[in-house]
Amino acid sequence: VAPHVFLACLRGEAALPLGIAMRDRHDGPILYYYGNPDQPYHSRSNVESAALWHFIAEHGQHSIAPLYDFSREWNDLNRALDEPYIVGGDSDVDISLEDYVADWPEGQPDHKSQGTGYLTCAQDRERLWLGPAYGESPDRILFFHAGGPGDPPNSGNPPLNRALWRFLTRHPMHVLAVSLDEEAGYTTIGREDLDEFVAGWTG
Ligand SMILES: [Zn+2]
Ligand SMILES: [Zn+2]
């Protein structure tokens, strides 16, 4: 049975289901995350993608990880006194995807950017460009916005949105973090690399 994967805040605050990890062989790499049969690719679903970008902005600086549902790390988070709430879950403490993205001002930059955001995997020394970060301060990011005012938000920007979903398939169980700093020694999937990064990708 293919495992479910949750993108978890490693402070244990919240988690976002990424879907079922699809592979073409048991020990192969994750090809894509599979969700609702009516909407097979999250990267083409507005609400799932908006929730993902919101989650990355809200928890990326706390460190996050795509955790298999059978993993000790996932079970430890859920055994804590304050277990994480699930975005899109249906228990009392959870929040629906729709509520999670309602009133979130993605793509409405009204202040100066706080820097350029990257989602980084320190283990693989790989990072993805997320665009300029907007928010109250460098450690309270509200959203990332690659375009100018009036351009679609990142969650509705196909190459960048798909690149984020694809990036998450490459780093299961790895600690990821949003960084606004330049870091030496990382392979960067930058703005000019996005089309090539998602070309031919199923998800
Ligand atoms: Zn968090
Ligand atoms: Zn990694």
Q: Half-sphere exposure (CA, 13 Å, Cβ side) for 32?
A: 15
Taking the centre of ligand 2 as the mean of its atom positions, its distance from the CA of residue 144, in whole angstroms, is 21
Listed in order, strand segments (DSSP E) in 69-152 are 85-86, 115-121, 126-137, 140-144
Q: For residue 173, report the distance from its CA to the centre of ligand 2, in Å.
A: 8
pLDDT in tens, 114-156: 999 999 999 999 999 999 999 999 999 999 999 998 899 999 9
Q: How far is the CA of 172 from the centre of ligand 2 (A)?
A: 7
User: Is pLDDT above 80 for 40?
Assistant: no
pLDDT tens-digit map of 47-85: 999 999 999 999 999 999 999 999 999 999 999 888 999
pLDDT of 27 reads 87
According to DSSP, the β-strands at 85-86 and 140-144 are unpaired
- In this structure, of 42-46, 84-88, 170-174, the range with the lowest mean pLDDT score is 42-46
Least confident range from 29-38, 50-59, 91-100, 182-191: namely 29-38
What residues have their beta carbon closer than 5 A to ion ligand 1? 9, 11, 13, 59, 62
Ligand approaching nearest to the C-alpha of 141: 1
Q: What is the mean pLDDT of the chain?
A: 94
